Structures are given as C-alpha cells and as structure tokens.
Amino acid sequence: MNKFGYSKIEILVVIVLLGIVAFITINKTSYAFAVDGNEAIDEVKYLIEVQAEDYALANTTLFNETDTTYISVDDLIEAGYLIGNSDGLLTNPIDSSKNFNDSKIKLEYNENQNKVTATVVD
C-alpha cells in the first residue's frame, strides 16, 4: 500500500470482484419470482372448469337428453361466468396473442348427486 491509499490495480480488482458477485446474485434471484408458464395456464384452466360447473348447475336443461355435453369458453363469457378483456377474449397468460375462447369444455352431469364435472378439452 502506498502512502496515499490503495493503488489503481487494487481498486480495479475489488470492483471487478464486486461486479462478478453482483452479477451472480442478480442472476440467481431474478428467477425466484418468475411464474412457471404451465402453472399459470393450469390455473386459468382450473378457473374455467370451476365456472363451467357453476354454469352447468344453473342450467341443468343442458342435460335433458344426455349426461354429457360440450360448451365453449365464449358461452361462459356471454353468460357472465368469466370476464374477458375489452375485446371479449380470455387471453393466454403466457402468450397474449393466443386465447381460450374457442376451447371446449366437457360437462358430465351426475343426476343422482346433482354434481357436474367439467374438463377443458385441448
């Protein structure tokens, strides 16, 4: 160490080392809050299925001739069970250019238990 403090080389080495540590720390923690795309899509599908079951129980006339029927996400939006964006679209949380509106939902009605099971059909 010279009498005026640290040399330029020593300061440069410390700055480079701090930069490397900061880069590694930021890179590792930036993924901590990232949303898994598959989980987000699964959550939207679960919401669609729950709302479809409510819709079907409120409209049991869908099952007059059969215990299984199909509806679309558009049907749920039009009935007010789901809310789309300003264009009436339920967009994909990962890719906003895609939407769920044309997705079909299979509804199975168990009349004995008065229960409906909904499944989003891909």
**Token pair recorded at residue 33:** 């809050």
Helices and strands of the chain, counted as H and E runs = 3, 3
Do residues 93 and 46 touch, judged by C-beta distance below 8 A?
no
Residue 43 sits in the same domain as residue 25: no
**pLDDT per position as a tens digit, 64-96:** 888 899 999 989 999 999 988 888 888 888 887
**pTM above threshold 0.85:** no
Residue 27 sits in the same domain as residue 60: no
How many domains, in total, are found in the chain? 2
The CA distance from 54 to 30, in Å, is 39
Residue 43 sits in the same domain as residue 29: no
Residue 106 sits in the same domain as residue 82: yes
**pLDDT per position as a tens digit, 3-55:** 778 888 999 999 999 999 999 888 877 766 666 667 888 888 999 999 999 99
Residue identified by tokens 């509106």 is 101
Residue 90 sits in the same domain as residue 117: yes
Q: How many alpha carbons lie under 13 Å from residue 10 in its C-beta half-sphere?
A: 6
Residue 77 sits in the same domain as residue 108: yes
Residue 6 sits in the same domain as residue 65: no
Q: Which structural domain range is residue 97 located in?
A: 37-121
